[in-house]
Structure 1
Amino acid sequence: MLNYDKEADAYDTLRGGEPRAEAAARAVLGLIPDRPGRLLDAACGTGIVTRRIAAARPALRVTGADLAPGMAHRATARLPGAILLADSRRLPFADATFDAVTSIWLLHLLSDAAEVRAVVAECARVLRPGGVFVTTVDKAAAHDVGSDIDAVLAPRPRRPAQDAAEAVAAHAAEHGLQPAAGACFTGLGQGRSPRSTIGDLRRGWFTVLPPGDPRVEGFAERLAALPDQDRRRPDPRFRVRSFRKLAAA
């Protein structure tokens, strides 16, 4: 996994910046009831999406939490007084504290199903009955756009997708969360070019191919042979799912 403290300063610039954040926030807001209450953005990263949610819903008291100090520092600059350091597997909040919990681009980073289950369980625990949990699913699949770059990368080793939609729904059901709705948004500015993909490979963005792995240069050589080295292929399309917590019996 990437070191997100080291990544924090360049994180937004390398991942679509404000246009992607606006698209993500719009999708999330469409799944959250528009009424006063409290919202937790778990694994809020730099707060680039969190800030937009807070600005769009002034009646919501928004809190962001992230495990990486570098990310939380960036988020605090955007939402002073609303960000804390916290592990989404062990949230420091009482049961039934929030009316909504969002978790964007987190589950795919977790190492196994047990960690995903722990995060979903915690998000469900801190939700009030009738509250909504919103999360991205199938992130890796969003980047497969049928391009020539995808064809080159097809043989690369992949780890199991911990955020597969069916698996996330199963974990949610275990903790009293029922499917509610879904949405998609475009990862604006994240279309891959051959040259940028070579850089990503060498930086370790493809997690099963760490920097220095001898296979990296083989993929890099084949990518370097593609035409239009700086032309970005289509942007990814991300999926978001929402789940509603069952009312107490």
Structure 2
Amino acid sequence: MIDYDGEAGGYDASRGGEARAAATAEAVEQLLPAETCALVDVACGTGIVTRRLSRPGRTILGVDRSQGMLALASGRLPHRVVRGDATRLPIKSGNVDAVLFIWLLHLLDGAAPVFAEGARVLRAGGVLVTTVDKEEGAFHAASDVAAMTAPMRRQHTTRATDHFERVVALGASLGLSMVGDTLFTGIGQGRTPRQWCEQIIAGRVPWSREASPAQIADLCRDLSSLPDQDVARPDPLYRLIALTC
């Protein structure tokens, strides 16, 4: 797991900064009902996306358990962020129009408790918006890295906590049905072959964590043999879906 307190200071810059935040917020807004007045962003991080969702007449609350992230978010959203756990939101039942899980589910061992909590705080007709298939976003476009990593990635995909079909089924079990989806680009997040090797060796790539040391060594050797070691491959294309109760 990433040390979010330790990485808070450089987190935004390492993940596309304001350009990525703008693309994310625009995509989220596409899935929100026009009458959304109360929104909670769960795992809001530094608040760089949350801030862009502010509208006249809309109340926003950012929730995160990382004090380092919240220190930055509070500057962007004064008095509108709170420290809390995604499985125990400090919100009354049936009290919000929209709940956001942006780049959260893929970090969890199981999404059921978080999803149940999101459903609990939604008003009737409210929407839950979440990213799905996060780790596959980097491979939407054909590339040498995509082709080389495909065999290892296939073993992980259907087991991922944020796998699209698993998320939709989980939502259905809680009375939530899918009502929309959209895509957005993770601007500035394309990685080079060298960066992929570094991330895999550091254990920060979920689809590689169950591989054996020998498999990891073989993959990194092959990635290191690719041309243009310091040229980023295509930026990720992320998927957002909206479910309603």
Alignment of 1:34-49 (within 5 A): 34-35=34-35, 37-49=37-49
% identity of equivalent residues: 45
Q: Deviations over 1:47-77 (max 9, x none)?
A: 11101111xx222110000122212222112
Q: Equivalent of 1:59, from 40, 57, 77?
A: 57
Offset, 1:215: 5.4
Q: 1:199 to 1:10 in 2, by over 3 A?
A: farther
Q: Deviations over 1:82-130 (max 9, x none)?
A: 1111111111211011111111000111113xxx111111111101111
Match status 1:239 vs 2:234: no
1:170 and 1:6 map into 2 onto residues whose CA distance is 35
Q: Deviations over 1:186-236 (max 9, x none)?
A: 1111112112223323443214449xx665554333222211112111111
Q: Equivalent of 1:153, from 149, 154, 178?
A: 149
Letter in 2 for 1:83: V
Letter in 2 for 1:27: A
CA RMSD in angstroms comes to 2.0
Q: Which residue of structure 2 lines up, in the alignment, with residue 74 of structure 1?
A: 72
Q: Equivalent of 1:140, from 135, 151, 155?
A: 135
Q: Deviations over 1:12-56 (max 9, x none)?
A: 1111111111111000001112236210001111111101111xx
Letter in 2 for 1:11: Y
Letter in 2 for 1:133: L
Offset, 1:184: 0.6
Q: 1:155 to 1:170 in 2, by over 3 A?
A: closer
Residues matched between the structures, number:
239
- Larger mean CA deviation between 190-199 and 119-128 belongs to 190-199
Alignment of 1:52-201 (within 5 A): 52-54=52-54, 57-112=55-110, 116-144=111-139, 145-156=141-152, 159=156, 160-201=159-200
1:143 and 1:27 map into 2 onto residues whose CA distance is 17
1:21 and 1:71 map into 2 onto residues whose CA distance is 15
Q: Is the 8 A contact 2:130 2:241 kept in 1?
A: yes
Offset, 1:155: 4.3
Offset, 1:150: 2.2
Offset, 1:3: 1.8
Q: Is the 8 A contact 1:143 1:236 kept in 2?
A: yes
1:119 and 1:36 map into 2 onto residues whose CA distance is 21
Letter in 2 for 1:126: V
Offset, 1:176: 2.0
Say which SS state the counterpart of residue 235 (structure 2) adopts: coil
1:88 and 1:214 map into 2 onto residues whose CA distance is 36
Where does the alignment leave 5 or more consecutive residues of structure 2 unmatched?
none
Q: Which residue of structure 2 lines up, in the alignment, with residue 17 of structure 1?
A: 17
Q: Is the 8 A contact 2:36 2:98 kept in 1?
A: no
Q: Is the 8 A contact 1:47 1:64 kept in 2?
A: yes
Match status 1:28 vs 2:24: no
- TM-score under structure 1 length normalisation: 0.88
2:48 and 2:201 map into 1 onto residues whose CA distance is 26
Letter in 1 for 2:125: G
Say which SS state the counterpart of residue 35 (structure 2) adopts: coil
